[in-house]
Each structure stands twice: as C-alpha cells, then as structure tokens.
Amino acid sequence: MKKKYQYSVEIAGSCNFRCPSCPVGNMDNRQKAKGLMDFKLFKDIIDKISIEKPSDNTVVSVFDWGEPTLHPELPRFIEYINSKGLISRVSSNLNTNADLSRIIKAAPDQFKISLSGTQKETYETTHKNGNLYLLKSNINRLKYLKDKFSSKTEFIFGFHVYKNNLYRDFNELKDLAKELDFKFEPIVAKLMPIEKVMAYLLQKGIIGKEYLQGIKTTITSKDFELIKLLIFSPEADHKKWISFADSVRNSLTGFCKKRELKTSIAVDGSVPLCCGTFENQFKVSKNFLDETTENLHKKRLKNPFCKTCMELGLHLDLARSRVIDYSFSERPFSKSIRRIASELIGRPSS
Ligand SMILES: C[S@@+](CC[C@H](N)C(=O)[O-])C[C@H]1O[C@@H](n2cnc3c(N)ncnc32)[C@H](O)[C@@H]1O
Ligand code: SF4
Ligand code: SF4
C-alpha cells in the first residue's frame, strides 16, 4: 500500500479566470472537454476509487484544470467523497459567487485558496479576470463560516510567488493567515503545462523539434510577459538540470510522482497522462471507469512522452531549493532575504 495517493477529479472543466501561467489562460482553444461533471459519473468514479483505494491516505481533489466552485453541486460531491472515507480537497480562486456556506457545511478536509497578491496590480496581473475586492470579501466570509460552524476544514492560502509579490504581498498575506488561523503555503509559481514549457525551450533553441512529439501550442508575447515575472524561468530550470552530474540526473529519472502517486480524471471521465499535461494527444484512456488500475498504470508507463519529459527534468520541481525554503520560512533574516531579492529582481511596492 502506498503512503499517500491522490486522484484529481475535474468536476468543472472551465474557469472564470485566464491566469497566464495556466493552460486555461495561456492556450487558446481548450482542447479537452469543457462543462460540468454530472453527479452520476462522479459517483461511479468515486465508487471505483473507494474500491481501488491504493492508500489509507487516499485524497480526492475536485479539480485538475478548472474552477470547482463553478459547479453548483460541489457540496454534494464533497459529502460523497467524505462518506466513502476518502480525503476531500478543494482548491479555488475564490472569485465566484458560490454558496460558500453550503460548501463549508459539507466539510471538505482541505480548502485551498489560490492567490498571488494583496495588491490590485499584482493580483490581477497573474490571476487574470480576478477581482481583489471579491477575493477579500470571500476570504472574510470563509473566516466567518469557519468560526460559525466550528469547521474542522484545513484552510490554506496557496500563495503563488512571483518576482513582483515577493515582499509586501507575501508579508501581508502571511500576517493575514495568522490572524485568520489559515495555513500559509507559498509556492514558486511556474509556467504550465509541460507542453508550454517545451514550446518555450524550442523557441529559445534549447531543444530541437524532435522533442515536441506533436505538441501544438506555441509561445506568444503574453507567455514572454509571464515568464519575465517568474522567479525561475524554464531556461533557468533547464540550466540547473543539466548542471547536475550524470549520476544525479540518472537517479532522478525513471520515477515520477505525478505518474506513481497521482491520477487525473478529466471532466468527461477521460484520463490524461498526468496532471502536468493538457493537450488531447496525451490522453491515455477515454474512460477511467473502463480501466483496471494495472492496465491504466501500464498505459501511462508505456507513454513515450514521459521519456522526453524526464530527459529534460520537467517531471521535477526544480524551483525548490534550500535558499527558497529558507526565505519562505519564519527563520531569522528570511524576511530580509526576500526584501533584498525583491529589490534586486522584483518591483517592490513598499
Ligand atoms: C490549475 S489550478 C485549478 C484549481 C483552481 N482553479 C485554483 O486555481 O486553485 C490547480 C492547482 O494549481 C495551482 N497553481 C495554479 N497556478 C499555478 C502556478 N503558476 N504555479 C504553481 N501552482 C499553480 C493552484 O494553486 C491549484 O491548487
Ligand atoms: S489556475 Fe485555476 S483559477 Fe487560474 S485559470 Fe487555471 S484553473 Fe482558473
Ligand atoms: S514523466 Fe512527465 S509527462 Fe510523464 S507523468 Fe511524469 S510529469 Fe507527466
């Protein structure tokens, strides 16, 4: 049995936002099915998952690409996951008019609020279509409901860190998390999906066309704008990867957490290769319900795209480093490190 296993069930295939770092925002035509998952399909998927149950710690996230609070039946979905003894997880941009009261009453185990700023300019640049005031009012409402229902849900600020929000926004949100008794989880923002990163590496002449394997997406001026804001560009990640000794690279190749410890299920019940890929050709099954666990895993293991992805180190979170972990922590000087970094690379707003 695995220590932890995660299923990402995409209950809403579209989003009210167009974040430039996410394929929903940076890939013109959504190639996967849009729309909302119906309860019958969801129930069948959860029933299958609860039989397979690869771990005592099996988590079901109600999102992959898309905004789960757009689904009016979200509370019912959460209750169904909980009724099967699985761990329920929501991640939201919290910029919808969803019935938060019903959602919190349904008692998800975890509710993550994805955001990238406390200032209008920073937030609305990287969370495109977002409204800071709606976000703030929903955050306050969540806190009110958390207290009202003595909620056991773990509330998390999933803070996407860019060059422009490294200091003031970071500090303000960290303080707010303390005040509200929410967890604060900063994460270095990256360009998604994997296809977009490969298209960028091709455009920069770092890799040849043979790596692309039919990838359709290309790089636009908006992608360049976004990449300028990233703390680590795809090029920097690539440089880091090739700087490793061959033996280190070999030891990091072959195993991919996204393949071994996670399965994504799209809104139409189909299965993408992993949560990092978006284009249709990387679908490994038309229907999760028709697949045995073993067969699905075999299909994923056989997919030639993984070999290319691993060769480039794209299966790893290369942005993690001791310096980053330290500067995001509460240790002595971490705030000063972020301030200096912000002055050097960012556009500090205070
Ligand atoms: C694609 S989102 C879908 C769920 C929901 N719409 C949201 O934004 O939370 C899935 C997860 O990706 C994370 N995410 C989004 N953009 C990111 C980025 N640029 N870098 C790292 N993680 C990101 C979000 O925090 C979220 O937990
Ligand atoms: S990251 Fe979430 S909120 Fe932003 S476009 Fe993607 S799905 Fe929507
Ligand atoms: S190796 Fe790459 S493409 Fe394959 S599952 Fe892992 S992240 Fe996805």
Q: What percent of the chain has pLDDT over 90?
A: 89
Sign of CA dihedral 177, 275, 87, 141: positive
CATH number of the domain within which 225 lies: 3.20.20.70
Average pLDDT of the chain is 94
Note whether residue 246 is domain-resident: yes
> What is the extent of the structural domain holding 109?
5-345
Identify the residue whose tokens are 């290319």: 308
Peptide bond into 304 cis (omega under 30): no
Tokens of 95: 């910029």
pTM for the whole structure: 0.96
pLDDT of residue 350: 42
d(CA 95, CA 134): 6
pLDDT of residue 30: 56
Q: What percent of the chain has pLDDT over 70?
A: 97
pLDDT tier at 29 (50, 70, 90 boundaries)? low
**Residues paired with residue 9 on neighbouring β-strands, in sequence order:** 265
Q: How far is the CA of 22 from the centre of ligand 2 (A)?
A: 6
Q: Of ligand 1's atoms, which has the minimum distance to the CA of residue 126?
A: 19
* Ligand 1 and 158: CB distance under 6 A: yes
Q: Residue range 136-154: average pLDDT?
A: 98
Identify the residue whose tokens are 């771990």: 55
pLDDT of residue 16: 96
Q: How far is the CA of 245 from the centre of ligand 1 (A)?
A: 32
pLDDT per residue as tens digits for the range 242-282: 999 999 999 999 899 999 999 999 999 999 999 999 999 99
Note whether residue 16 is domain-resident: yes
In the chain, the N- to C-terminal Cα span, in Å, equals: 50
pLDDT per residue as tens digits for the range 113-135: 999 999 999 999 999 999 999 99
Long-range Cβ contacts of 336-339 (<8 Å, 24+ apart): 338/166, 338/167, 338/170, 339/167
pLDDT per residue as tens digits for the range 196-238: 999 999 999 999 999 998 899 999 999 999 999 999 999 999 9
pLDDT of residue 33: 58
User: Of all helices (H) and strands (E), which one includes residue 183?
Assistant: strand 183-188
CB 116 within 8 A of CB 122: yes
d(CA 190, CA 188): 6
The residue whose C-alpha atom lies closest to atom 7 belonging to ligand 3 is 315
> Which of the 8 DSSP states describes residue 55?
B
Residues 6+ apart with CB under 8 A from 104: 111, 142, 145, 146, 149, 151, 153
pLDDT of residue 348: 42
Note whether residue 34 is domain-resident: yes
Q: Residue range 85-100: average pLDDT?
A: 98
pLDDT tier at 297 (50, 70, 90 boundaries)? very high
Note whether residue 282 is domain-resident: yes
pLDDT tier at 291 (50, 70, 90 boundaries)? very high
* Ligand 1 and 92: CB distance under 6 A: yes
| CA 205 to chain CA centroid, nearest Å | 28
Note whether residue 26 is domain-resident: yes
The residue whose C-alpha atom lies closest to atom 5 belonging to ligand 3 is 259
Residues having CB closer than 6 A to ligand 3 are 194, 256, 258-259, 273-274, 276-277, 305-306, 309-310, 314-315
Q: How far is the CA of 122 from the centre of ligand 3 (A)?
A: 31
Note whether residue 350 is domain-resident: no
pLDDT per residue as tens digits for the range 41-59: 999 999 999 999 999 999 9
205 — alpha (psi -120 to 50), left (phi > 0) or beta?
Answer: left
The residue whose C-alpha atom lies closest to atom 6 belonging to ligand 1 is 67
- From residue 308, how far is each of 1, 220, 312, 313, 315 by CA, in Å? 29, 23, 6, 9, 10
pLDDT per residue as tens digits for the range 152-200: 999 999 999 999 999 999 999 999 999 999 999 999 999 999 999 999 9
Ligand 1 pocket test: pick from 63, 184, 237 the residue with the most ligand atoms within 8 Å of its Cβ. 63
CB 13 within 8 A of CB 79: no
pLDDT of residue 32: 53
Number of domains, the chain: 1
The residue whose C-alpha atom lies closest to atom 1 belonging to ligand 1 is 65
